[in-house]
Structure 1
Amino acid sequence: MRRTRLTAACLAAGLALTGCSAASTGSGKGGSTLTYLTFETPSLTAGFWDTSIADAEKKVPDVAVRKIVAPSTDRDAYAKQLQASGQFPDLLQSITPSTFATAGLLRPYDQKWVNANFLLPMGNAYQGKVYIPPTNSQIIPEVFYNKKLFAKAHVDAAPKTWSDFMAVCAKLKAAGITPVELGGGDPFSAAMPLVGILSADVLGKDPNWLKKRYSGKVRFTDANVKAAVAKYRTMVKNGYFEDGALGVKYADSITHFTSGKAAMYMMGSWFLGSVPKDHADDFGAFLTPTEDGSLVVPFSVGGSMAISAKAADPAKATAFAEAWSLDPANYKALIEGDGAFPMLKGRTLDDYGVHVTKVFKDSYSYVTQQNTKVSAVGWATNDDSMPSGLNNAFYAASQALFSSDDVDGQLAKLDAAWDSATK
């Protein structure tokens, strides 16, 4: 789920290491060899991918799958590079469908299979078709908090309204505690506060805002968006983030928060996989507060792998993708290590044999409850996904707005980038 900028040097290194070739070739035994673009994180290691691939291969006769590891976490950018060089993979893990489906590069799944297996069959559909199975979901972001630091500052409960949230921040700062951790050195991480505020205040009042932006009915320079961004600027100017936050890398921000250097942390629910097991009960979570205290869940339905429309053996590619996407062992790793919320029909958390924290269960309840769910700004993979390139523009604006009061200028740049991308 994490996105970073891809460099030409990384691409060259990745191609050299993976020995990437054309999408599919015969195995020499009447079978097929498929290429599969994945990624690696501290939670989803090389061992996880190797095991999950081997297990799915056993369920599909006469197929072998060769793993390609993206050299950065921006899989969309890497896949574009591979496609441009004639090496588009047969299978691609957790990409943004809209980036490739409009170019005819992806093969949709059979809708009957999707309907039969997933809780929200159309949760990440793009233009009425499902290009990645809706296997899991995330809340992006939640506001995680350290209960011991709250108690030290005599904060009795998680805030419900925005004014409560500001009061808690002020109280923590007065007690000598950094209110909010920010991994501002990585663009996607720097954007988390804005993702939360915009999702709550703008999409919470108009869930169709992103669709309306496509039709030109709304703009980033509108008053309601400016008002939401102003909240973020207030947090910065009041000193509610740590000193030097723009220089803190994402990985370090996790360590800072879990070691007690800040009281709160606005991050995607994948952080749940990083909650320290030995003192997990010290942590809680709440949603980005709204003016009136109403709950707005910034939601993203994720998924497993997309299938190339140009796969030499589409039947085998589809069979492998379906087998991988329904394997409970994969869900166990995603739940425990990456904080993913499973979206398979007919299963409870206990069915996966997982050991999760109370804060995970409390967070998952937002997914299972009836409430206001909106697309997390910049993270949707459905019809609310931004045009190609806009996520990076949004992240860059978030970093710029940390140190600049030029809200109008940064939002105007986003409008210009959007207009250019959708011409």
Structure 2
Amino acid sequence: MTTVHKMFAAMLAAALGLTACSSGGGSQSSTAPTSSAPGKQKVSFLVFPSPNLPESYWKAQVDLVTKANPDLEVELVSAPSESDRNDYAKQLAASGQLPDVQIGMQDLVALEPNLAPWSQEELTDFLCPTCGAVNGKVLQLPTNTQTIPNVYYNKKLFQKAGISAPPKTYAELLADAEKLKGKGVTPFVSGGVFVTSQPWTALLANDLYAKTSDWMAKRRSGDAKFATDAAFRSATQKFADLAAKGYIDKRQIGQDYPKTQEAFLAGKGAMYPMGSWFAAAADKSPIKDDIGVFAWPSDDGSLHMPTFTGGGLSVSASAKNPAAAKKFALAFQLQKENLDASVKADALFPAIKGYTPPSDTGPVFKATYDLWQQAQQSNATVPAFSWEAGDAAMLPGMQGKFWSTAQDLVSGKKNVDQALQFLDTEWEKSG
């Protein structure tokens, strides 16, 4: 993470000092004034291109909105790095350069004065209008639900190791990992930034949140700590053991997010703990029919699906035309064509009343969506640790600390005691 942050700092300095890319293929300053066509209301829109959502995606979706709302003119501002988007957005806000509308970011949402609140009337179309609220204010549209993580697996590699079905308990998962390792197959594909932490989040869903759903509130009030909570320690020890047994290959943590995805799709590991958005890339791959999905199993086999609802657009409190910015954000989030595109491009589950996914989605998306529906019907959803929103989230900056600590546990740089003490120390600094 140190190298990543150094690289990001350099990119950020360059981006703030020079320009931000526009989706039109040229280069356009994120702060320099530009003229709008007569009768147009201009809105600047900060996006974070990723493997699933390149700049061409954002441009196409914005074009759909402006076609339906010809009074709007939207300037796309692309961040230099998707992986450190929280830091980038906070830096823009601190320097007075935050665009009018942004993809939701938890650290930015936590800095409440930066964002304009949404009224109850503006949120009537959303299934969970209070999700992610900060001090009773909704600052980010609660547009999408994601399950984080699922466990995607390569059916052929399971068969190679003599595994006929996904594991139902954690003991079975460990036994399967040992079988895979014995056949020379890496059990879990891992990588840098947030990817390494995915198994830890899954373990915390079962060992911590399934038993204490309000644990984060207790940590915020000081009634719980990382180092002294038995359930948190148990999940962390299990995570460290996965690396110690060689089920997570520490040599992979130098890979970036796109490389981890490529590695799994290339058969370089049997299981890929990842958010539901991976289903979009999986369904575009040649091996889509060989990819299955299951929920990370608990000790007793009961289902606990880590889930996040939020992820929508937010509007800057300093937007030059707040009404136009909100009009664009709502139109972008509620237009059916855009919602369908988000399902196909990023495997999102739109949390919009009356919405159903397109019938022509791929097999991996359908399996992932069905797994979430099963959890919903069984009342088996729990928060996804480090992905929570609003008042239920970690303090600003702690998400990145959690992710970097996961890498330190896998690499052996920190043992469990050191990792948990580090998180407590950093929490106190953040508070």
TM-score using structure 1 length: 0.91
- Check 1:258–1:101 CA distance in 2 against 1; reply closer, same or farther (3 A cut): closer
Q: Please state if 1:148 is matched with 2:156.
A: yes
> Cα distance, 1:127 vs. partner?
2.8
Q: Please state if 1:176 is matched with 2:201.
A: no
| Correspondence for 1:252 | 259
- Check 1:300–1:24 CA distance in 2 against 1; reply closer, same or farther (3 A cut): farther
- Check 1:43–1:187 CA distance in 2 against 1; reply closer, same or farther (3 A cut): closer
Deviation by residue 1:168-196 (Cα, 9 ceiling, x = unmatched):
1112222222211111xx22111111111
Secondary structure at the counterpart of residue 278 of structure 1: coil
Separation of aligned partners in 2, 1:30 and 1:150: 60
Task: Please identify, of 388-397 and 75-84, the stretch whose mean Cα deviation from structure 2 is larger.
Answer: 75-84
Unaligned runs of 5+ residues in structure 1 are none
| Correspondence for 1:365 | 370
| Correspondence for 2:66 | 57
Separation of aligned partners in 1, 2:67 and 2:37: 18
Residue of 108, 111, 121 corresponding to 2:129: 121
Q: Please state if 1:391 is matched with 2:392.
A: no
> Cα distance, 1:395 vs. partner?
1.1
Deviation by residue 1:254-312 (Cα, 9 ceiling, x = unmatched):
12211222111111111111215433221111111111111111111133210111222
Separation of aligned partners in 1, 2:383 and 2:118: 22
Separation of aligned partners in 2, 1:394 and 1:278: 34
Unaligned runs of 5+ residues in structure 2 are 21-27
Q: Does the aligned pair in 2 maintain the 1:24–1:34 contact within 8 Å?
A: no
> Cα distance, 1:340 vs. partner?
1.3
Residue of 297, 304, 317 corresponding to 1:309: 317
Give runs of aligned pairs for residues 211-250 of structure 1, distance below 5 A: 211-221=217-227, 222-242=229-249, 244-250=251-257
Secondary structure at the counterpart of residue 64 of structure 1: strand
> Cα distance, 1:365 vs. partner?
2.3
| Correspondence for 1:66 | 75
Specify the code of the residue in structure 2 equivalent to 1:173: K
> Cα distance, 1:21 vs. partner?
4.8
Separation of aligned partners in 1, 2:184 and 2:123: 51
Give runs of aligned pairs for residues 16-27 of structure 1, distance below 5 A: 16-18=18-20, 19-22=28-31, 27=36
Give runs of aligned pairs for residues 319-334 of structure 1, distance below 5 A: 319-334=327-342
| Correspondence for 1:10 | 11
Q: Does the aligned pair in 1 maintain the 2:152–2:273 contact within 8 Å?
A: yes
Task: Please identify, of 125-134 and 287-296, the stretch whose mean Cα deviation from structure 2 is larger.
Answer: 125-134
Q: Does the aligned pair in 2 maintain the 1:220–1:414 contact within 8 Å?
A: yes
Separation of aligned partners in 1, 2:135 and 2:302: 30
| Correspondence for 2:24 | none
| Correspondence for 1:91 | 101
| Correspondence for 1:41 | 50
Residue of 100, 113, 120 corresponding to 1:111: 120
Query: Number of matched residues?
Result: 412
Task: Please identify, of 211-220 and 326-335, the stretch whose mean Cα deviation from structure 2 is larger.
Answer: 326-335
Specify the code of the residue in structure 1 equivalent to 2:302: S
Residue of 280, 283, 291 corresponding to 2:299: 291
Deviation by residue 1:50-73 (Cα, 9 ceiling, x = unmatched):
122222223435332211111111
> Cα distance, 1:249 vs. partner?
2.8
**Percent identity (aligned):** 38
- Check 1:28–1:333 CA distance in 2 against 1; reply closer, same or farther (3 A cut): closer
Deviation by residue 1:334-371 (Cα, 9 ceiling, x = unmatched):
21221212222112223xxx632233212212333322
Q: How well do the aligned residues superpose, as a CA RMSD in angstroms?
A: 2.1
Separation of aligned partners in 2, 1:25 and 1:373: 46
> Cα distance, 1:22 vs. partner?
4.6
> Cα distance, 1:233 vs. partner?
1.7
> Cα distance, 1:30 vs. partner?
4.7
Q: Does the aligned pair in 2 maintain the 1:23–1:90 contact within 8 Å?
A: no
| Correspondence for 1:205 | 211
Deviation by residue 1:124-177 (Cα, 9 ceiling, x = unmatched):
333322222222111111111111111121112111111111111112222222
Specify the code of the residue in structure 2 equivalent to 1:398: A
Separation of aligned partners in 2, 1:420 and 1:137: 31
Secondary structure at the counterpart of residue 43 of structure 2: strand
Secondary structure at the counterpart of residue 180 of structure 1: coil
